[in-house]
């Protein structure tokens, strides 16, 4: 997972999931890892993948309120990974600040 301008929380989530799958679940091939990471990205950014599919089919994603551009270029950097408004499903990068860890008891 590369970033376009910063170490956003979306990228950090992919790096953390990758580390977990390799060290804890003993994933040993790039195919295993890539399949799981793509599932994660589809889950947290469904609108992006819907837009990409529409574009491949010759449709204009903007007509449906979707963008195929990254969050950096659509002012969605600080939005949660997935957020839903009354009319749109939007996703962002979850900001650039470190996530606050929830204390475990």
Sign of CA dihedral 54, 55, 56, 58: positive
pLDDT at 47: 76
Query: What is the spatial distance between Cα 94 and Cα 57, in angstroms, rounded to a whole number?
Result: 29
What is the overall mean pLDDT for the chain? 81
7 CB neighbour count, 10 Å cutoff: 12
Of 25 and 48, more confident = 25
Q: Is residue 30 assigned to a domain?
A: yes
Work out how many domains the chain is built from and give that number: 1
Q: In this predicted model, what pLDDT tens digit does every residue of 28-64 receive, in sequence order?
A: 999 999 999 989 988 887 777 788 888 899 998 888 8
Of 45 and 87, more confident = 45
Q: Is residue 97 assigned to a domain?
A: no
Q: Are 13 and 44 in contact (CB under 8 A)?
A: yes
Q: Is residue 34 assigned to a domain?
A: yes
Q: Is residue 23 assigned to a domain?
A: yes
Which stretch, 17-21, 45-49, 60-64, 94-98, has highest mean pLDDT? 17-21
Confidence of residue 66 (pLDDT cuts 50, 70, 90): confident
pLDDT at 93: 78
Which stretch, 16-20, 68-72, 78-82, has highest mean pLDDT? 16-20
Q: Is residue 4 assigned to a domain?
A: no
């Amino acid at each position: 997972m590369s970033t376009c301008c910063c170490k956003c929380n979306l990228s950090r989530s992919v790096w953390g999931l990758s580390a977990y799958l390799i060290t804890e679940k003993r994933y040993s091939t790039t195919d295993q890892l890539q399949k799981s990471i793509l599932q994660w990205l589809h889950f947290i950014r469904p609108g992006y993948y819907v837009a990409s599919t529409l574009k491949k089919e010759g449709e204009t994603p903007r007509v449906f309120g979707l963008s195929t551009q990254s969050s950096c270029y659509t002012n969605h950097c600080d939005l949660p990974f997935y957020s839903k408004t009354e009319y749109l499903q939007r996703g962002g990068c979850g900001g650039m600040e470190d996530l606050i860890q929830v204390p475990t008891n």
